Structure 1
Amino acid sequence: MRKILVVGAGQSGLQLALGLQSHGYEVTLMSNRTADEIRTGRVMSTQCMFPTALQHERDLKLNFWESQAPKIKGLGVSVAVPGSHDPGPAQRAIDWVGRLDGHAQSVDQRVKMAGWMEAFAQRGGQLVIHGAAVGDLDYFSRTYDLVLVAAGKGELVQMFGRDAARSPYSEPQRALAVAYVHGLGPRPEHPEFDAVRCNLVPGVGELFVMPTLTTSGRADILFWEGIPGGPLDVFKDVKDPAAHLSLTLELMERFVPWEYARATRVELTDAGGTLAGRYAPTVRHPVGRLPGGGLVLGVADVVVANDPITGQGSNSAAKCAASYLASILDHGDKEFDGDWMRATFDRYWETARHVTKWTNAMLAPPPEHVLNLIGAAGQLPPVADRFAGGFDDPADFENFFYEPRLTEDYLSEVSAAAGA
């Protein structure tokens, strides 16, 4: 029986630990918090998982909350007319919703990670509650066949050097502010189904609104992404949750009044329902070398940390865990050496590179052909649906998004089919 240590109890670490456990590996999981501390603590993220990522959870029978979480069946895009304050449709230059093939879901990581951690322990896994340092891993690496680092923050990340060729940004590109709320009203245009709403405010930033399941049941996430130094970059020193929500709503009223119109009665889900921060999107080299010479393999956002503007964090974490699990199973009883670690990451990078390329493109001001594409989606439902589908399979953007000629050819083809 092979012994594997997983450090970090997020989406990727827990999914990988539970997957390995189900295949008979002897797995130790290190977390710096207990399940109860996670469940009663502050929100850790936003998350919306699309069909492919959800299927990875189903494959491992980890979809514990699928019947309870809202089924998200669409993805909407609105673009504000600069300087407008009317909640009516005239104040949106673009406003449409694409339908997903299948459904997406969001489960508050406090709910999911606490539940998965308890399942791991109940199934006989060794759970160690301890904040790991490099020195700890140096010791453990001598007693485990493989050490996987899935803790995306703190000193452990520093073991993995920045891959400059794959990391065009050295500074944060957005200031992030999250509030989990109860009491948000439905979008009047499509009250019959749940959708993630992406509201783009040119030159200012974005507001995302997504239905979720939290510790107190159905809720919605209000998520501002502000261009640093701009009017949304005002949450840094706000420590009081009520003040954070008040500021969130004030900015909604100013920049996205159509969303504010359904938020006039919201309240925070709990005192831990807010979060603010920023980080530079970074791809890192996947293999870390310990002081004693041992090697460790970085997992998910330890090695590929994208900005959340495209909602890919939990999806990428699930896809990374599934890819690494397959690589470990395929390797049998051979040594997990540096060459294997790099090959394992390269296999995942074939998926992750599309996410990184798309996310970095969305952080920059959109070129004319992309504006044309987003605009055309309002008149051509197949375009809206395909754009929404890209959140599940970002590789598809290669076929119609980046190159002006491909975009023009695609729009001509859809227009011709619509007129036939």
Structure 2
Amino acid sequence: MRKVLIVGAGQSGLQLALTLLEHDFEVTVMSARTPEEIRDGRVMSTQAQFEPALAHERNHGLNLWEEETTPFEGIGVSIAAPDGSRALDWVAKLDAPGRSVDQRVKMAGWLELFEERGGQLVIHGVTTADLDKLAGMYDLTVVAAGKGELVQLFDRDPARSPYTAPQRMLSVVYAHGVGPRPEHPDYTAVRFNIIPEAGELFMIPCLTTTGNCDILFFEGIPGGPLDVFGDRPDPDEHLRRTLELMRTYLPWEYERSRDAVMTDPGGSLIGGYTPVVRRPVGELPSGNVVLGMADVVVANDPITGQGSNNATHCAEMYLQEILAHDGPFDRAWMERTFERYWHYAQHVTDWTNAMLQPPPPHVLEIIGAASQNPVVARRFVNGFADPTDFQHWFMDPEKAASFLAEASVPAR
């Protein structure tokens, strides 16, 4: 029986651990926190998973909260005008609904499921020195902890990492009491609000520890008017400032959120990080090598909502590569395995990095056309489920022009 050590208990690490158990691997997961500590702690992320990622979980019996989670059936885009009105506003349905489950709920539940299914769980923070001693005891060691000391094992890849500083300052509140958008009261949607030269507000339906809620998620350009959380206010003050920003810049969202309350004392998060792609193989002082996965090696800004989707796809791809391999899990195998993931993730990275910049004329034309043409709107919103499609029309001005011309021809 082959032995695998996975350091980190997030979406990618636990998914890989649970799916390896299906194939009779001996799997150890090292987590810095117990399930109870995760469940009772502070929110760790925003997340919006789309159907291709959800299908992986469903196929492995990991969709434990699917029935109780409010699905989001569409994505809406609004652009704020200086006078507080909407310069543009539209919504389109996804081909299949998405869902968001608070990682406190999911990771705590998956850790418990991992133990129930026979995995070995070790509650212990891991240093580089610890890992150096442990790696030689396993056939494969995977680092899935995207923060902390172990990330330094993986060198930044400058050819794939255009940024050297955070491009957005992030502010997250999980809230109860947010009403529906009056334009579509019969179904829910992720709302993508753009405040030109300031940042964005995303509103995402989510299941948290206290039931279904909404995530109010500001992405502020550093130094701009949305970057007002640097003093790390307490949760109540955090919510107050969030609502004040909404009242000032996005009054249509404020009106349905004015009675919002925090879901729980841990329902807020503040931060910011530099988007980066790292080399996939880390070498320990002993000479043993370890494989990085998901946001250890590809950390994108959450502006396109791809973090948990990337993690899910990465875990599934790594699983297939592990199952198909008979030899040692050496450096060459690790690099090949990552390149298979990068074949997918590069398109996510290119699109996400582009969305962090002021939109070029052809992108403005696409977003404007989507407000009038449902064919354009449908393709744009479903790109969140399959970002590899954007290379074929969204990223290139000539391809965009060709698609818009084709989409404007009446169907016969």
Classify the TM-score, shorter chain. Answer: over 0.9
The match for 2:384 is: 391
1:285-304 Cα shifts (integer Å, max 9, x gaps) = 00000011000000100000
Q: Secondary structure at the match of 2:231?
A: coil
* Pairwise CA distance, 1:417: 2.6
Tell me, in whole angstroms, the C-alpha distance in 1 between the residues paired with 2:400 and 2:152: 40
Alpha-carbon distance between aligned partners in 2 of 1:305 and 1:348, rounded to the nearest angstrom? 13
Partner of 1:84: 83
SS class of match (1:210): strand
- For the Cα contact (< 8 Å) 1:198–1:207, is it kept in 2? yes
What residue in structure 1 maps to residue 407 of structure 2?
Answer: 414
Q: Any conservation in 2 of the 1:207–1:223 contact (CA below 8 Å)?
A: yes
* 1:78 Cα deviation from its structure 2 partner: 0.5
Structure 1: runs of 5+ lacking an equivalent? 86-90
Query: Which residue is 2:31 aligned to?
Result: 31
- SS class of match (2:137): coil
Q: Which residue of 2 aligns with 1:402?
A: 395
What letter is aligned with 2:336?
Answer: A
**Would you say 1:112 and 2:100 are equivalent positions?**
no
Aligned to 2:358: 365
Q: What is the DSSP-based 3-state SS (H/G/I as helix, E as strand, rest coil) of the residue aligned with 2:285? A: coil
Which residue number in structure 1 is paired with residue 135 of structure 2? 141
Deviations 1:107-133 (A, max 9, x none): 000000000000001111100000000
Question: Which of these residues, 307, 310, 333, is aligned with residue 340 of structure 1?
Answer: 333
Unmatched tracts of structure 2, length 5 or more: none
User: 1:358 is matched by which residue type in structure 2?
Assistant: W
Which residue is equivalent to 1:203? 197
In 2, the alpha carbon distance for the partners of 1:321 and 1:163 equals: 21
Deviation (angstroms), 1:344: 0.3
Residue pairs, 1:187-202, within 5 angstroms:
187-202=181-196
Q: Which amino acid aligns with 1:381?
A: P
The Cα of 1:238 is off from its aligned counterpart by 2.5
Of 205, 213, 234, which aligns to 2:207?
Answer: 213
Letter of the structure 2 residue corresponding to residue 15 of structure 1: Q
What per-residue deviation string (whole Å, max 9, x for no partner) do you get for residues 339-366 of structure 1? Answer: 0000000000011000000000000000
SS of corresponding position for 2:74 = strand
Alignment of structure 1 residues 295-334 onto 2, 5 Å: 295-332=289-326, 334=327
With normalisation by structure 1, the TM-score equals 0.97
Contact 1:177 1:225 in 2 (8 A): yes
Tell me if the contact between 1:98 and 1:386 (Cα under 8 Å) persists in the aligned partners: no
AA aligned opposite 2:137? T
Residues 37-56 of structure 1 mapped to structure 2, 5 A cutoff: 37-56=37-56
Structure-2 separation of matches of 1:55 and 1:135: 38
When normalised by structure 2's length, the TM-score is: 0.99
- Which one of the candidate residues 148, 156, 166 is aligned to 1:172? 166
For 1:350, the equivalent position in structure 2 comes to 343
Sequence identity percentage? 61
Match for 1:351: what amino acid? Y
Which residue identity lines up with residue 413 of structure 1 in the other structure? E
Alignment of 1:257 with 2:251, yes or no, is: yes
Deviant stretches of 4+, over 4 Å:
none
Aligned-residue RMSD, C-alpha: 0.7
Structure 2 residue identity aligned to 1:394: P
**Separation (CA, whole Å) in 2 of partners of 1:259 and 1:204:** 16
Cα deviation for residue 16 of structure 1 reads 0.3
> Is 1:131–2:130 an aligned residue pair?
no
Q: Does 1:11 align with 2:4?
A: no
